[in-house]
Structure 1
């Protein structure tokens, strides 16, 4: 059994103060994908990733973004879009980086995001799987839906919305290329991460009032709908929880959203069909020893993949 988790930590230092190190040490995951680590290499907490091998792409925007993949065994290969990454074994106490460009041509439109700390992927040593960690831009509202005084921030004329939609358009092409490249290497593909969008009404509490909210706009839902099919990628958590609301993975820190479980499901395991069929359980760790690790929660899936013997049919 291969236990794999995805978590937007919303700052790895803050998450450690809340118990991330203990969660990593006790949860029994073979692979953990992290997003929004928001920490330069020289500021990582001591023992930040326990006894895991770490591949860490901090990005070049101070205090923002950043992704990582933690594995029990050193990855066979590491790829990013165009960035230097930290690759470190658990018994190493020094920092070093190495260039690891993706062997798939970068889709037009992603160049502006290539060093923002949004994407990294590894080939696992313990199973024929390529695992990627993605932090997709949050975005905003289109200009025609922006009303001053009804938004948290100031209207921006739709700039953040347009930036996200350009990213989605480019990443759609990149995702297809990457999935096919994994297949050529004889590997299944698993995309983990915070997509900053919810797919269906089962993925947003109070979905009716949120239909014109960023992250649940019709065009955003159409985008993920187009990415999923029985032949390309499967939403693993939804496949195991087909008719339930949630399980949600993000809740606002404001008000009683968490207590009322008024959340959003925006953190995903998107797997190639053959791998998705091996998924046995999918749970969201809402807290750890009574403490929230982040405004997101870990999404943990057990895949029935024996170590070293390949993906079962």
Structure 2
């Protein structure tokens, strides 16, 4: 089973830049999206044809929004808001009364479209799509404390949620996979200019310590790093500005984190980095992996 994740930085813009052509040719069975950034009424439904879509668009106009695309309608959907839009493969759109995730620390983010999980109908797997807040480099940046503390609160709640979701999935005979934009580079291998970014959001010591805390051989495994233990990157995000993309001055902030058995089944993982700057669909490139399910 081929599974991918893609922060599209706006689905309408990504569609104009080749989103559909890429995913049509990718062979993906499941796709997690982040930053859909579109009201439900304005969604370009041709972007999703052939997939069943579970979407939590959030209530912040033009911001955030997470989705999971599957070949068959999922058997269970959960989100922070409990308000999910379902789009069938024939483009029929309907409101879905999804299960609401109860989590004290994540509750304040319920309307932001940041976390969604589905149980697949055609495989024993629970898949989550995540768009984690960017945060800020407090105390190094003045006026950044509020954004910093919001991210740290999200991290606290997410750690509990990952444990709960993984255990609940296992109790139902399912593996667990969370994908998406974590807005954290875990180690020095995960960004090119790590020396100059040690006081930057996304590479703060406490963020990296948190990331390490959710990984272990018995809980969640970083699939790409397992398959590419010595590699720098492969990076998944590059600034639109300057020569970052051309010179591969990037960050690896888009991940597949899998339950151990699922991680062991992964035979390949790669970043679908576009050939040139002009062909970029987003400031993030898709990250894919093949699993034996």
The answer, yes or no, to whether TM exceeds 0.5 is: yes
Aligned residue in 2 for 1:48: 47
Aligned residue in 1 for 2:180: 193
**Which runs of 5 or more residues in structure 1 are unaligned?**
147-154, 306-313
In the TM superposition, residue 260 of structure 1 has moved relative to its aligned partner by 0.4
CA distance in 1, matches of 2:126, 2:89: 21
Aligned residue in 1 for 2:8: 9
Contact 1:24/1:50 (8 A) holds in 2: no
In the TM superposition, residue 82 of structure 1 has moved relative to its aligned partner by 2.3
CA distance in 2, matches of 1:216, 1:90: 39
Task: Summarize deviations over 1:72-112 as a string: whole Å, max 9, x none.
Answer: 1111111112231111211143x21111124x6x2221111
Aligned residue in 1 for 2:285: 297
The within-5 A match list for 1:276-287 is 276-287=263-274
CA distance in 2, matches of 1:265, 1:70: 23
Larger radius of gyration between Structure 1 and Structure 2: 1
Q: Secondary structure at the match of 1:56?
A: strand
Task: Summarize deviations over 1:178-226 as a string: whole Å, max 9, x none.
Answer: 1111111110000010000010000010111111111000000000100
Q: Secondary structure at the match of 2:99?
A: coil
2:114 maps to which of 104, 115, 118: 118
CA distance in 2, matches of 1:156, 1:113: 21
Q: Which runs of 4+ in 1 moved over 3 A?
A: none
Task: Summarize deviations over 1:200-256 as a string: whole Å, max 9, x none.
Answer: 000010111111111000000000100000000000000000011000000000100
CA distance in 1, matches of 2:130, 2:165: 13
Q: Secondary structure at the match of 2:289?
A: strand
CA distance in 2, matches of 1:283, 1:187: 24
Aligned residue in 2 for 1:309: none
Aligned residue in 1 for 2:38: 39
Q: Does 1:109 align with 2:105?
A: yes
Aligned residue in 1 for 2:195: 208
Aligned residue in 2 for 1:311: none
Q: How many residues align?
A: 292
Contact 1:75/1:125 (8 A) holds in 2: yes
1:159 maps to which of 146, 154, 157: 146
Alpha-carbon distance change, 288 to 29 in structure 1, aligned in 2, over 3 angstroms: farther
Task: Summarize deviations over 1:100-159 as a string: whole Å, max 9, x none.
Answer: 124x6x22211110121001111111210000001000000113x11xxxxxxxx32411
Q: Which moved more, 1:187-196 or 1:16-25?
A: 16-25
Q: Which moved more, 1:188-197 or 1:288-297?
A: 288-297
User: Given the two structures, how large is their TM-score scaled by the length of structure 1?
Assistant: 0.91
Alpha-carbon distance change, 71 to 157 in structure 1, aligned in 2, over 3 angstroms: closer
Q: Secondary structure at the match of 2:282?
A: coil
Contact 1:25/1:50 (8 A) holds in 2: no
Q: Which moved more, 1:288-297 or 1:191-200?
A: 288-297
Contact 2:4/2:30 (8 A) holds in 1: yes
CA distance in 2, matches of 1:19, 1:176: 36
In the TM superposition, residue 266 of structure 1 has moved relative to its aligned partner by 0.2
- What's the C-alpha RMSD, in Å, of the aligned pairs? 1.3
In the TM superposition, residue 288 of structure 1 has moved relative to its aligned partner by 6.8
